[in-house]
Structure 1
Amino acid sequence: MNTSARVATIMQTDWPEVSPDTPIRRAVALLVETRSAAAPVTDDSGQLVGILTQKDCFKPALYASYYQEWKGSVGEFMTRDVVSLAASDDLTSAAEAFLAHPHRIFPVEEDGRLVGMLRRSDVLAALLSMG
């Protein structure tokens, strides 16, 4: 099995992106519309500052269901300690990262810039096609 293929070859290059100031309702709608597990959160310079997952969205969504009002911005609910992968990582390293963390998706960075998103299913499909 050739697991020397790189994350860059299987990562998603089109993904929803939000800022810390994005209203949480808009961000939740974006995740639902794009059927995404998460969206990277970037600042004005494009630097990765967090990630907003579907799980992060449950607290404001439940609040809205109770009080009939959406409150807050992405910055209040996002996960700030982001685990990311490098575009140059091999598939074995990516698979090990998915085993070590409960995440369904990882941001992918190259030279400190966000360049993609890697889904758990992408790695599994790549590994399946190699065997």
Structure 2
Amino acid sequence: MGIKSFQGAREEIKRSYDHPIAVADHMTKKLITFTAEQTLLEVMETFMKNKITGAPVVDEKGRLIGIISDSDCMKQISEGRYFNMPIGNMTVGKYMSTDVLTINGDANIFDAATRFYKTRHRRFPVVENGFLIGQISRKDVMLAALKISGHHWR
């Protein structure tokens, strides 16, 4: 004999938010980008000047072709010493990551937070039809969460 509920059928709770929760509403649209032809020295100078740790790499039409990070630079600095190869001539195209995880602009910030947690990435480019339209970072997701902190997150 099973347990019977005397509460009756429950109505499905519809989730609504007063504040936009889409990635596109919280992504950075004005991005620092690089081309494959630029040097790692240019990348490092830009990283230091702008206090960033990575940036998308685009072709001449604005299509995403890779991402370059401070980790890519660290690897080349380390290996450059070992192989006696100065980094001055090293180009982004040779050392960028081309297997880039992206996120859709219509994804919500909760899904983005889950992806950040599971992958340990610090940023995801937002791409539409192959073209870079923005970037969402861990910081962007935290700022979005703070903006909607007064609402229920069910």
Shorter chain as normaliser: what TM range? 0.7 to 0.9
Range with bigger deviation, 15-24 or 68-77: 68-77
Shift of 1:4: 5.9
Corresponding residue SS for 1:85: coil
Name the structure 1 match of 2:60: 44
Q: In structure 1, what is the Cα distance between the partners aligned to 2:106 and 2:130?
A: 12
Q: Given the alignment, which residue of 26, 30, 46 partners 1:30? A: 46
Corresponding residue SS for 1:96: helix
Change (3 A) 1:64 1:74: same
Gaps of 5+ in 2: 1-15, 150-154
Structure with more of its chain in strand, by fraction: 1
Name the structure 1 match of 2:11: none
Larger gyration radius, structure 1 or structure 2: 2
**Residue 69 in structure 1 maps to residue 86 in structure 2:** yes
Name the structure 1 match of 2:148: 130
Q: In structure 1, what is the Cα distance between the partners aligned to 2:41 and 2:81?
A: 12
Q: In structure 1, what is the Cα distance between the partners aligned to 2:118 and 2:20?
A: 20
Q: TM-score, normalised by structure 2?
A: 0.76
| Deviation by residue 1:45-92 (Cα, 9 ceiling, x = unmatched) | 211110001111102233566758323100121111000111111111
Report the residue type matching 2:109 in the other structure.
Answer: L
Q: How many residues align?
A: 131
Structure with more of its chain in helix, by fraction: 1
| RMSD across aligned positions (CA) | 2.1
